[in-house]
Structure 1
Amino acid sequence: MPTDPTTVPRCKAPRRWPDEPAQGGWYTDAEDAAMREVMDDSLSWRTGWRGTERITSFEDAFAAKADSRYAIAFNGGGPALEMVLHCLGLQPGDEVISCGLNFVGTHLPVLHQGGTLVLAEPDPLTLNLDPVDVEPRFTTRTRAILVTHWNGLVADLRPFLRLAACHPHPRHGPPVVIVDAARACGGTTPAGHPVGAEGWATVFSFETKKLMTTHGQGGMVTTQDDALASQLRRLRTYGLSRHWGTNQQLNKAQAAVGAVQLSRLDEMNAARVARGHQRTRLLEDVPYLTLPPTLTGGQHLYYRHNLLVPESWAGAGRDALMETLAERYGLGSIINDPPTYTSHDYIHARTHGQACPRAEQLAARLLCPCLHPLISDAEEQEICDAIREAAEQVARAFGTV
């Protein structure tokens, strides 16, 4: 049975830096003022917390930012993805291709909506879904490709759009491309488009650890498709008295704060990218670590700063490095993420023995030490010194010096 490999650093010693930041961005007086204004506006029993104007304003601003015709707000990224897949109308046997190296919340909705999850390998450099491995996995039952901008590195969607066009479903036509952009809000694709402009639907999360947040939970879907936008609006509001639906609405306080966070997103992302690039520079002389590719122009937002240890350290050596960082230096890290079928029982039971050897091998080498834009330059130097020293200690233990 799968275990949870994200919990490898079992050291309970106090840590100066947590396994991962509890909040991805940060709040300012502007968010506080927006929240106070909404609270003052909502005290009366005649008004309460409903406020479609604020929500619509937030959606319009988000659509403009993403260069998309529509943006539809939800109370979470998970529910938003669930409803997008519901709109696809998956039937038994319908297949959705997605990268095995992923967050479990990307794959659970596929299974819950009745789809067959087809796992594919990550690209060894970007760790995003590898289009070369996707092509042979197409069948006459393929309905969608679900692409994740994994850990902030924005995937190139053009190969997947071309593959979909070349492998039409016999009844539904070309499979759709659905994008999980929970960790890449505000990014730019290699084609030069804002994240959210390409594909049938792009799903964003505003959960507390994400690049922007609406009081800890929230989500958005962008699309250029009129019918999809209309259906999503019905679904989140009990079907608007005509169809099946549920309640997945954002409230006006979240929308007000989200509008401020959106206006500051480029600033927060720029600080995160600068921190990610600085960490790469400070670690570039460590021979035991493979560092993330240094990309510019918003193509990598460093939701996580991925490190890969040598293949000979895979598993035990990586775990030793994480334990050393936690125990001796107070630096937390996380495996973000292992293959979903190895870490979640429900997914494991429903992927019928599928395996992605490359994903498993990369995951066994992966660790993501804590990174946040508000870490000071002095602290960042300490963190990188700790990583360097810990890597040397593990190298001696594994005879790779």
Structure 2
Amino acid sequence: MPTDPSTVPQTTAPLRWPVEPAQGGWYTDAEQAALTLAFHDSAPWRTGWKAAAHESALEVAFSAYTGASCAVAFNSGGTGLEMVLHALQLAPGDEVISCAINFVGAHIAVIGQGGTLILAEPDPLTLNLDPSDAEQRMSPRTRAILVTHWNGASADIRPFLQLADRHPHPVHGPPVVIVDAARACGGRTPSGAVVGAEGWATVFSFESKKLMTTLGQGGMVTTNDEDLAARLRRLRTYGRSEHWGTNQLMTKAQAAVGLVQLARLDGMNDARITQAHQRTRRLAGIDGLTLPPTLHGRRHLYYRYNLLVPPSWAGEGRNALMEVLAAEYGLGSIINDPPTYLGHQLVRAHTAQRCIRAEQLAARLLCPCSHPLISAAEEADICDAIRAATATVARTYGP
């Protein structure tokens, strides 16, 4: 089985623009004020940093924003996903289907919670999980379908809900649909729903690079299943003296900042979308370079700005383009993401599967640095660099 551990150019310094932004949602005086207030509120020894009231306020606001019945805060999106999978009580042999192109954390969580990871191919346009290929992977052992809104391109959840209904588990009934929205907070799906309202559970990350952030880490799970929400609250607080659990609570400071970030989320996403559309207009007409889809009828957030080089450039030519961008123009880029079994030994050891379409698409993929706070002048320089570097590589690898 091939491996491809490198996801960034060899030339990483000095770069005018990094391989990816270290911060996604940005902070203002409002976040600073909320953090200062939380600090002063927590200073008395009789008060301290107990987070319950702030955490609850963020959960209520997040539930209202997404339209989901319940929202449960966690100290990270990763732990939230682990606890959702834990609540399934996966038995040996129970299968979870997920797209091969993904962040490794989702697949490690499945393996860590005792599930058998079944990899499926991406849709060629969005690189989200392909419903048709997922259906080919269904079996009487399928317990869950894990759908990722990959890089901000909102997936249509309805086909997976229908797929689950058509293939019930002989004991547990229809497999549940779990949604990974770590990179799609604030998105809309083709049904018109806000990301987080559909499926059994939707997991969000507020890690530093995400669309809204809470001081480096943080996460949320939304669900319309009140029993699941109650169980998740037990799991994050040592089982509440009744069941197994651990400490996965969000802090008061994170929740206080999260409330401000949530209020600003649509504005930050609007700026991201505007910049991405402007970049697409500037890059139009480059021979062989496939630009990210606009996805009319849904809200594509462009967590990363994905480019696909021509098939003849796959692998070697794509890598050459990343090197030219970095070495000659100071523009960093990242492959976000290759199939997880190519870059992570645990996933590779867990499955003998290969997803050829995923490998072919990932070999053409690169994501040049993009962020809404990049100035208009710098954005023009970035687009000029992509156009010039593509022309340079085309002289070797063809149009």
Report how far residue 245 of structure 1 moved: 0.2
Report what 1:74 is aligned to.
74
Misfit runs of 4+, over 6 Å? none
Give the conservation status (yes or no) of the 8 Å contact 1:51–1:252: yes
Cα deviation for residue 45 of structure 1 reads 1.6
State the one-letter code of the partner of 1:19. Answer: V
**Closer, same or farther: CA 292–117 of 1 in aligned 2, 3 Å:** same
Aligned ranges for residues 2-401 of structure 1 at < 5 Å?
3=3, 5-296=5-296, 299-351=299-351, 353-398=352-397, 400-401=398-399
User: Tell me, which stretches of 5 or more residues in structure 1 are unaligned?
Assistant: none
Distance in 2, Cα, partners of 1:31 & 1:190: 32
CA shift, 1:296, in A, is: 4.5
Q: Deviations over 1:156-197 (max 9, x none)?
A: 011000000000000000000000000000000100000000
Residue 385 of structure 2 aligns with an amino acid whose one-letter code is: A
Shift of 1:6: 4.1
User: With structure 2 as the length reference, what TM-score do the two structures score?
Assistant: 0.98
Distance 2:17 2:390 in 1: 18
Secondary structure of the residue aligned to 1:5 is coil
CA contact (8 A) 1:2 1:345 kept: no
5+ residue gaps in structure 2? none
* Alignment CA distance shift 1:276-1:375 (3 Å): same
The Cα offsets for residues 134-172 of structure 1, whole Å up to 9 and x where unpaired, read as: 111110000000000000000001100000000000000
- How much has 1:48 moved relative to structure 2? 1.1
Q: Distance in 1 between matches of 2:274 and 2:154?
A: 16
TM-score normalized by structure 1? 0.98
Taking structure 1 as reference, are residues 4 and 311 closer, same or farther at Cα in structure 2, changes over 3 Å only? closer
Instruction: Give, in whole Å, the separation in 1 of the partners of 2:194 and 2:9.
Output: 36
Per-residue deviation, residues 278-336 of structure 1 (Å, max 9, x unmatched):
11111111112101111346521000010000000000000000000000000000000
Q: Structure 1 residue 115: deviation in Å?
A: 0.5
Tell me, what secondary structure is at the counterpart of 1:231? helix
Structure-2 change in CA distance of 1:129 and 1:85 (3 Å): same
> In structure 2, how many angstroms separate the alpha carbons of the residues matched to 1:51 and 1:360?
44
Relative to structure 1, the CA distance from residue 289 to residue 300 in structure 2 (aligned partners, 3 Å threshold; closer, same or farther) is: same
- What is the CA RMSD across the aligned residues, in angstroms? 1.0
Corresponding residue SS for 2:117: strand
Residue identity opposite 2:208 in structure 1: T
Whole-Å separation in 1 of the counterparts to 2:261 and 2:135: 38
CA distance in 1, matches of 2:173, 2:375: 52
Give the % identical residues. 69
Code of the aligned partner of 1:321: L
